[in-house]
């Protein structure tokens, strides 16, 4: 059934009066069916003309919000994402005036509008880049979403169960997505500081699980990029285990950083897990296989092959650090070949490195062994005078997962 603008205004007013947040979100979504009806009704709409005709028909600011919505749908239909983004930004600014005077029933509409803003910003930036132009719509969107975060944080009058604070972590997830998209990740620290400084926020566990997963994912990513690997692994692990089993793409995104962290700790992923994620299997399997066999040359070939992709994912340094596990595997094979002797000449480790494609001197080989002992991959000491490695009689090569504080010595 066709919905004329006059009917849309009535429906909008009824949704506001009945405090129906889901209905309001639906009415203000540019992709809703009635949006196409409005595009047909107003072939070439003008905001000023519409305000003259319809201004005051319903309570302010909803009359202007309705007009802005018509402009958004018109620009979207005519594939003008930058103009649609600007109108959506103004629409949300008007909505903020209403939001700060109301309780949490407005959150579904807020979430929907912010998602649409982010999508329009992405389309606008992509369209501009395709045409050789510069655009900062996503960065502007981040500013709007950050303002929404402030509006949720400052709710001190609503009842606890109806507070706008129940939207905090969803909005935090959105603003972090924007910061990561425009590579302004450092701005996330301001958001985290605001969260820490506000003791009145309900505990994270009380929020919907989807909000928790998104927040933990970005918190883990921030820790990962700051090389706080222990914190990153903790947050990403919680995000993965709480992620919906059908959200395959989200699980893959979490595992993209979690798998390298687990590899650094010596916990190699199983084939069952890797088969569930073919893209990650193709990327990480060469490294995992090389670590299992101690094949340094294969590991180095994989590093060269996947360097560009690993750099894009901010994983190159982490995977390069995991090369030590390959060296540990190689030295363990030397130990096994020597009948697990407690005394092995440094020259044996030197030969193994050269055979594996590493053209190093004897002194460098000795340094490799010393490094393995220092980092807990081997137990023993080096007799430099006799050029002999003296290994422990028991547990000479501890299990990788048993090392204490494995991230500390990276």
Write the DSSP assignment of 19-60 as a string of letters.
T-HHHHHHHT-TTSHHHHHHHHH-SS--HHHHHHHHTTSSST
Tokens of 330: 């190689």
Quote the pLDDT of residue 400: 80
Q: Which residues of the chain have pLDDT under 50?
A: none
Tokens of 208: 């919907």
196 vs 209: CA distance, rounded Å: 20
Quote the pLDDT of residue 54: 87
The answer to whether 34 and 76 are in contact (CB under 8 A) is no
Q: Nearest CA to 276 among 254, 294, 298?
A: 254
User: Measured over all CA atoms, what is the biggest interatomic distance in the chain, rounded to whole angstroms?
Assistant: 96
Question: Which residues fall within 8 angstroms of residue 176, CB to CB, at 6 or more apart?
Answer: 188, 191, 218
Give the 3-state secondary structure of residue 325. Answer: helix
Q: How buried is residue 71: exposed, middle or buried, by Cβ count under 10 Å (0-12/13-18/19+)?
A: buried
293 vs 231: CA distance, rounded Å: 29
CA separation (Å) from 76 to 83, 188, 222, 363? Answer: 8, 30, 34, 67
Quote the pLDDT of residue 365: 92
Quote the pLDDT of residue 199: 85
CA separation (Å) from 299 to 72, 179, 295? Answer: 52, 33, 6
The answer to whether 5 and 35 are in contact (CB under 8 A) is no
For 209-229, how does the pLDDT look when each residue is reduced to its tens digit (9 = 90+)? 999 999 999 999 999 999 899
Kind of pairing between the strands at 388-391 and 343-345: antiparallel
Quick one: how many helices (H) and strands (E) in the chain? 21, 3
Q: How many CB atoms lie within 10 A of CB 219?
A: 23
Tokens of 274: 């890797």
Quote the pLDDT of residue 404: 65
229 vs 249: CA distance, rounded Å: 23
Quote the pLDDT of residue 314: 92
CA triple 186-249-290, angle to 5 deg: 85
Strand spans (E) along 189-277:
none
What letter would DSSP give residue 148? Answer: H
> Which strands, in side-by-side order, build the sheet including 380-383?
343-345, 388-391, 380-383
The residue count for the chain: 410
Q: What is the pTM for the complete model shown? A: 0.89
Quote the pLDDT of residue 65: 95
Q: Nearest CA to 290 among 330, 262, 256?
A: 330
């Amino acid at each position: 059934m066709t919905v004329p603008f006059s009917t849309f205004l009535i429906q909008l007013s009824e949704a506001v009066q009945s405090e129906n947040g889901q209905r309001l979100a639906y009415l203000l979504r540019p992709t809703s069916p009635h949006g196409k009806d409005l595009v047909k009704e107003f072939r070439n709409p003008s905001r000023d003309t519409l305000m003259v005709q319809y201004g005051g028909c319903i309570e302010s600011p909803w009359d202007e919000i309705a007009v802005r919505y018509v402009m958004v749908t018109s620009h979207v239909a005519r594939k003008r994402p930058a103009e649609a983004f600007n109108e959506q930004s103004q629409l949300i600014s008007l909505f903020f005036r209403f939001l700060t005077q109301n309780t949490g029933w407005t959150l579904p509409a807020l979430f929907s509008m912010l998602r649409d803003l982010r999508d329009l910003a992405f389309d606008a930036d992509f369209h501009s880049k395709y045409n050789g132009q510069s655009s900062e719509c996503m960065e502007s969107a981040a500013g709007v979403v950050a303002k929404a975060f402030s509006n949720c944080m400052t709710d001190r009058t609503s009842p606890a169960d109806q507070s706008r604070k129940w939207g905090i972590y969803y909005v935090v997830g959105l603003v972090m997505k924007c910061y990561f998209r425009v590579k302004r990740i450092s701005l996330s620290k301001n958001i985290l500081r605001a969260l820490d400084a506000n003791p009145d926020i309900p505990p994270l566990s009380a929020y919907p699980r989807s909000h928790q997963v998104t927040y933990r994912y970005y918190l883990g990513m921030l820790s990962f990029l700051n090389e706080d690997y222990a914190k990153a692994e903790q947050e990403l692990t919680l995000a993965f285990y709480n992620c919906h089993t059908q959200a395959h793409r989200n699980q893959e995104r979490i595992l993209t950083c979690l798998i390298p962290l687990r590899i650094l700790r010596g916990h190699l992923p199983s084939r069952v897990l890797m088969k569930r994620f073919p893209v990650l299997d193709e990327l990480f399997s060469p490294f995992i296989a090389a670590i299992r066999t101690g094949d340094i040359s294969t590991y180095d070939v994989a590093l060269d092959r996947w360097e560009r992709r690993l750099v894009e994912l901010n994983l190159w340094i982490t995977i390069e650090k995991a090369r030590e596990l390959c060296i540990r595997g190689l030295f363990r094979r030397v130990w096994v070949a020597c009948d697990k002797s407690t005394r092995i000449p440094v020259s044996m480790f030197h030969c193994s490195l050269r055979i594996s494609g590493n053209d190093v001197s004897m002194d460098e080989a000795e340094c490799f062994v010393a490094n393995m002992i220092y980092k807990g991959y081997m137990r023993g000491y080096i007799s430099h005078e006799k050029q002999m490695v003296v290994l422990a009689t028991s547990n000479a090569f501890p299990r990788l997962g048993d090392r204490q504080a494995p991230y500390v010595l990276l």
